[in-house]
């Protein structure tokens, strides 16, 4: 045993822990060597265990306390480290150092679902959190957003009601991670302000193919403040470089069965193999005059600003390039705080944002158990921090001297007087950031927040036919899961009549209920010009980059055909994944053994973006007796993916009900082209959509 191994470091003890973890010698938490980690201390070989066994007691005691309260919302999440690089000069708008052109800032990002618990699945119909912590040289800035640019409610006072309604029901503790139940729709149908968000939540936006293929939004209107303290309003957007891509409902359901951790695994593996996900940070900047001229209130989080009205300006790139070393220490303990802003960025008076400013700080104390959670490495700023806050549970810093108050005159006596207030110009929230209304104390909702339907209509009418059918079908599916509360589906459809009569009629027909009278709107909705930016299909990127092609083979598969498909997929930047009945491999036509990446029953086609089937005649005959192989082709077709099959594999396609269309090809060049797309036109032939 080297004596350095157990040497206590003078400072915070962190060095000792690291040494113990990376060294060879097992110790207790207090550095005492442990020589036997297999047997507890007993009185005689078959006698009772002794209380004095501090090694056993410490180990069990620590284990008993390993879990902390999970997040009340966004409990299930996946995180990664990365870097943000500012790529445009916006010093006229903001003095924040993080936006200085060329500046690189370390970041930590956590993606999450909202409703489910920490151990729930990755692919439910749910909003995704998109929280980014920028460790800037002027302190931490947390942009705690979602993958949808609007929210369910307008005022934070409704948040506990919303969350109680959406999470598993209070008595029966189900369903987990989904909105398709009584209490959510009861609440939603009684709260017309949820309607715009409901349109997004019923769309494929909430079924992302990958966390790497999601947009992100700061949601609220924030402010940028320049060095002259001039403020501008701003909305933040994240745009994935791989393009936005979603799955469809049947696929998402089957993904839950195939892989609970589909998104977590996808993110981890992409980063692990050097395929670093990237997003552009873009801003929409506008002034008070623009804000005042809109028919909606920019302080209302249930409204967006169409990109056609205020175009996006790209100001930086986010790259996730490092997986966490330890999930608990980093992803679980990271504490995002919308209150974390830096000089040059400021809040607006959005009442939802204002409530968040209290909630997050408060919840971290309950989750992490101490007001000193900012000292946990994942939360600690990377720039120096000095203040006179002291003590508290789990204090790990050792401040020196007597200066724990200010003003003080200790320096005059040669003692360290501690930090002083930052000079003017460094200040953040106290900057003069432009006029916003203040007035009498009123518990009131502004009249300008009264229109709940126009933007819901804008969203619906901006979708393609196929996307609209998905929205209508989701409403039918979800409302059909409402059990006891008969009044809820008609009440919801009555609200939808204010959005779009056709949508309401489709939902009523799908549910098999008469069309109810239109709900009375607090303010009559109006038509806004269609916004293509709101549709996924209209801006989808036809690419194989970042995507995976499953290639089904069996004994006898032609080696040349397989090689050419693998090469073509790889050259198109896709990932070729070979699937065979046995993971050990298949014997190819040239006698070689081709190892498989996945076994057929454990690698269903829903985990891939496109499917190739390369079989010999005998191989095909064998696969036609294999339920998993038939399902493989059937699901790839049903999930609107390209299917490339060689001549010998055609009987399997026929058995799986695959019919010819543009997405069904041979295994040549056409396949790789088709594999970069989805074939939404195929869908009406396959299933009844509302
Ligand atoms: Fe929230 C977590 C996003 C409204 C209260 N929220 C949380 C996370 C995200 C969001 C991404 C997970 C952060 C992480 O990964 O640790 N929340 C939003 C967005 C909102 C929003 C985009 C509206 C625009 N949230 C909101 C309101 C309140 C909260 C109005 C309360 C008044 N949110 C919380 C919370 C959580 C949280 C309870 C749970 C865990 C945490 O904060 O750290 O405080």
The alpha carbon of 68 and the centre of ligand 1 are apart by a number of angstroms equal to 18
What's residue 18's pLDDT? 52
pLDDT of residue 14: 44
CA distances from 356 to 232, 236, 351, 445, 542 (A): 21, 17, 9, 17, 38
Phi-psi region of 585 (alpha: psi -120 to 50; beta: other; left: phi over 0): left
Closest residue by Cα to residue 678 from 612, 629, 610, 617: 610
8 A C-beta contact, residue 211 and residue 266:
yes
Residue 424 pLDDT: 72
Residue in 632, 639, 634, 680 with CA at minimum distance from that of residue 658: 634
Residues near 479 by beta carbon (within 8 Å), at least 6 away in sequence: 185, 488, 489, 492, 493, 507, 511
| Ligand 1 centroid distance, CA of 593 (Å) | 51
Q: Is 363 in the pocket of ligand 1 (CB under 6 A)?
A: yes
Asked, for residue 391, whether it belongs to a domain, the answer is: no
Ligand 1 neighbour 345 (Cβ under 6 A): no
Single residue among 354, 375, 396 that ends a domain in this structure: 375
pLDDT of residue 179: 96
Closest ligand 1 atom to the C-alpha of 74?
12
CB 492 within 8 A of CB 185: yes
Any atom of ligand 1 within 6 Å of the Cβ of 218: no
Q: Is the shortest distance between the CB of 115 and ligand 1 below 6 Å?
A: no
Check whether residue 510 and residue 620 sit in a common domain: no
367 known member of a binding site: yes
- Residue 5 is predicted with a pLDDT of 39
* Beta strand residue intervals within 471-553, DSSP E: 548-552
Q: Is the residue at 634 inside a domain?
A: yes
Q: Which residue, among 268, 305, 255, 226, has the nearest Cα to 111 in the 3D structure?
A: 268
- Classify residue 319: in a domain, yes or no: yes
642 and 542 Cβ atoms separated by less than 8 Å:
no
To which H or E segment does residue 633 belong?
helix 627-638
Q: Which residue among 140, 351, 356 has the greatest number of ligand 1 atoms within 8 angstroms of its CB, and so is best to mutate?
A: 356
Distance between CA atoms of residues 112 and 128, nearest Å: 5
Q: Please indicate, yes or no, whether residues 133 and 174 belong to a single structural domain of this protein.
A: yes
Residues of the chain with pLDDT below 50 are 1-16, 20
Do 221 and 344 share a domain, yes or no?
yes
pTM of the shown model: 0.95
Predicted local distance difference test score (pLDDT) of residue 634? 98
Q: Is the CB of 354 under 6 A from ligand 1?
A: no
What spacing in Å lies between the alpha carbon of 499 and ligand 1's midpoint?
28
CB 459 within 8 A of CB 196: yes
Residue positions counted in the chain = 690
> Active-site residues: which are they?
74, 146
Q: Is 159 annotated as a binding residue?
A: yes
Q: How many domains does the chain have?
A: 3
For residue 266, report the distance from its CA to the centre of ligand 1, in Å.
Answer: 24
Q: Are residues 647 and 572 in the same domain?
A: yes
Q: Is residue 385 part of a domain?
A: no
Say yes or no: 271 and 151 in one domain: yes
Cα–Cα distance for residue pair 52/45, rounded to 1 Å = 16
Q: Which of 375, 407, 442 is the last residue of a domain?
A: 375
CA of 337 to the centre of ligand 1 (A): 9
ipTM > 0.85, yes or no = yes
- 525: how many CB neighbours lie within 10 A of its CB? 18
Same-domain check for residues 559 and 526: no
Q: Is 545 helix (H, G, I), strand (E, B) or coil?
A: coil
Residue 145 sits in the same domain as residue 253: yes
What is d(CA 475, CA 422) in angstroms, rounded to the nearest whole number?
A: 53
State which ligand 1 atom lies nearest to the alpha carbon of 363.
44
Sign of CA dihedral 136, 141, 146, 150: negative
362: domain CATH number? 2.40.180.10
* Domain of residue 559, residue span: 547-685
Same domain, 563 and 649: yes
Torsion of CA 166, 168, 169, 175, to 10 degrees: 110
- Does residue 50 form part of some domain? no
Which residues have a Cβ under 8 Å from the Cβ of 174 and sit 6 or more positions away? 168, 181
Q: What are phi and psi of 94, to 5 degrees?
A: -140, 140
Q: Is 79 in the pocket of ligand 1 (CB under 6 A)?
A: no
List C-alpha distances in Å: 158 to 190, 191, 478.
12, 10, 22
* CA–CA dist 177, 183 (Å, integer): 13
Residue 99 Cβ < 6 Å to ligand 1 = no
- Spatial neighbors of 647 by CB under 8 A, at least 6 apart, are 666
Q: Is residue 419 part of a domain?
A: no
Are 318 and 370 within one domain? yes
Q: Are 551 and 527 within one domain?
A: no
CA dist 348 and 367 (Å) reads: 27
Q: Quote the ligand 1 centre to 143 CA distance (angstroms).
A: 11
What CATH number does the domain containing 654 carry? 3.40.50.880
Residue 188 is assigned to a structural domain of this protein: yes
Chosen domain end from 494, 521, 538: 538
- In the chain, % helix, strand, coil (3-state, to 5) comes to 35, 15, 50
The answer to whether the beta carbons of residues 102 and 85 sit under 8 Å apart is yes
On whether both 501 and 568 belong to a single domain, the answer is no
Q: Whose CA is nearest to atom 29 of ligand 1?
A: 356
Q: 422 in a domain, yes or no?
A: no
User: For residue 424, how many C-alpha atoms fall within 13 Å in the half-sphere facing its CB?
Assistant: 3
Atom 42 of ligand 1, nearest CA residue: 360
Task: Give me the pLDDT at residue 334, please.
Answer: 98
Determine if ligand 1 sits within 6 Å of the CB of residue 464. Answer: no
Q: Give the model's pLDDT for residue 425.
A: 66
pLDDT of residue 121: 96
Mutate which of 359, 365, 369, 374 to test ligand 1's pocket (most atoms within 8 Å of Cβ)?
359
* CATH number of the CATH domain containing 488: 1.20.1370.20
Estimate to the nearest angstrom the gap between the alpha carbon of 21 and the chain centroid.
Answer: 32
Both 141 and 259 in a single domain?
yes
Locate the ligand 1 atom nearest the alpha carbon of residue 364 and give its number. 43
């Amino acid at each position: 045993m080297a004596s350095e191994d157990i040497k206590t470091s003078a400072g915070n003890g962190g060095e000792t822990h690291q040494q113990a973890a990376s060294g060879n010698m097992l110790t207790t938490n207090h550095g005492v060597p442990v020589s036997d980690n297999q047997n507890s201390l007993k009185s005689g070989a078959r006698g009772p265990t002794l209380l004095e066994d501090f090694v056993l007691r410490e180990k069990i005691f620590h284990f008993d306390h390993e879990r902390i309260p999970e997040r009340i919302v966004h409990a299930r999440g996946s995180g990664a480290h990365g870097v943000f690089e500012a790529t445009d000069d916006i010093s006229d708008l903001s003095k924040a150092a993080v936006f200085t052109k060329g500046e690189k800032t370390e970041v930590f990002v956590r993606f999450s679902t909202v409703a489910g618990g920490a151990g729930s699945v990755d692919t439910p119909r749910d909003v995704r959190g998109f929280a980014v912590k920028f460790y800037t040289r002027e302190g931490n800035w947390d942009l705690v957003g979602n993958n949808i640019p609007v929210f369910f409610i307008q005022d934070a006072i409704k948040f506990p009601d919303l969350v109680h309604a959406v999470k598993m029901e209070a008595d029966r503790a189900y369903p987990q991670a989904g909105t398709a139940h009584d209490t959510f729709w009861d609440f939603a149908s009684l709260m017309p302000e949820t309607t715009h968000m409901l349109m997004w939540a019923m769309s494929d936006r909430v079924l992302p193919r990958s966390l790497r293929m999601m947009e992100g939004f700061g949601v609220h209107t924030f402010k940028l403040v320049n060095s002259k303290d001039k403020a501008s309003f701003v909305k933040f957007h994240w745009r994935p470089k791989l393009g936005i891509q979603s799955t469809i409902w049947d696929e998402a359901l089957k993904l839950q069965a195939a892989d609970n951790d589909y998104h977590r695994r996808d993110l981890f593996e992409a980063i692990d193999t050097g395929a670093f996900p990237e997003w552009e940070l873009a801003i929409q900047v506008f002034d008070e005059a623009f804000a005042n001229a809109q028919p909606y209130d920019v302080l209302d989080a249930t409204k967006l600003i169409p990109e056609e009205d205020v175009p996006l300006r790209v100001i930086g790139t986010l790259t996730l390039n490092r997986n966490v070393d330890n999930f608990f220490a980093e992803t679980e303990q990271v504490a995002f705080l919308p209150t974390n802003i830096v000089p040059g960025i400021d809040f607006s008076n959005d009442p939802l944002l204002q409530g968040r400013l209290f909630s997050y700080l408060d919840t971290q104390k309950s989750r992490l158990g101490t007001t000193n959670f900012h000292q946990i490495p994942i939360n600690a700023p990377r720039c120096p921090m000095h203040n006179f806050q002291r003590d508290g549970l789990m204090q790990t810093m050792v401040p020196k001297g007597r200066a724990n108050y200010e003003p003080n005159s200790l320096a005059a006596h040669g003692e360290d007087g501690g930090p002083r207030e930052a000079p003017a110009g460094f200040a953040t929230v106290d900057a003069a950031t432009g006029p916003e209304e203040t007035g009498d104390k009123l518990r009131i909702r502004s009249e300008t927040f009264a229109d709940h339907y126009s933007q819901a209509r804008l969203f619906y009418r901006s979708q393609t036919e196929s996307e609209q059918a998905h929205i209508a079908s989701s409403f039918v599916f979800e409302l059909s899961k409402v059990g006891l509360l008969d009044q809820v589906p008609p009440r919801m459809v009555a609200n939808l009549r204010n959005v779009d009569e056709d949508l309401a009629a489709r939902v009523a027909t799908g549910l098999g209920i008469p069309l109810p009278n239109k709900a009375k709107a607090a303010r009559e909705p109006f038509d806004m010009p269609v916004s293509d930016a709101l549709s996924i299909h209209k801006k989808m990127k036809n690419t194989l980059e970042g995507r995976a092609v499953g290639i089904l083979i069996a004994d006898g598969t032609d080696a040349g055909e397989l090689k050419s498909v693998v090469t073509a997929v790889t050259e198109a930047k896709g990932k070729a994944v070979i699937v065979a009945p046995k993971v050990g491999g298949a014997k190819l036509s040239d006698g070689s053994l081709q190892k498989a990446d996945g076994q057929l029953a454990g690698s269903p086609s829903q985990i891939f973006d496109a499917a190739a089937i390369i079989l010999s005649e005998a191989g095909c005959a064998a696969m036609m007796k294999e339920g998993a192989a038939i399902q493989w082709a059937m699901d790839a077709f049903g999930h609107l993916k390209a299917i490339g099959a060689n001549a010998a594999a055609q009987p399997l396609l026929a058995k799986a009900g695959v019919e010819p269309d543009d997405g069904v090809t041979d295994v040549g060049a056409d396949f790789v082209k088709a594999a970069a797309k989805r074939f939404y036109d195929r869908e009406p032939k396959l299933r009844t959509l509302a």
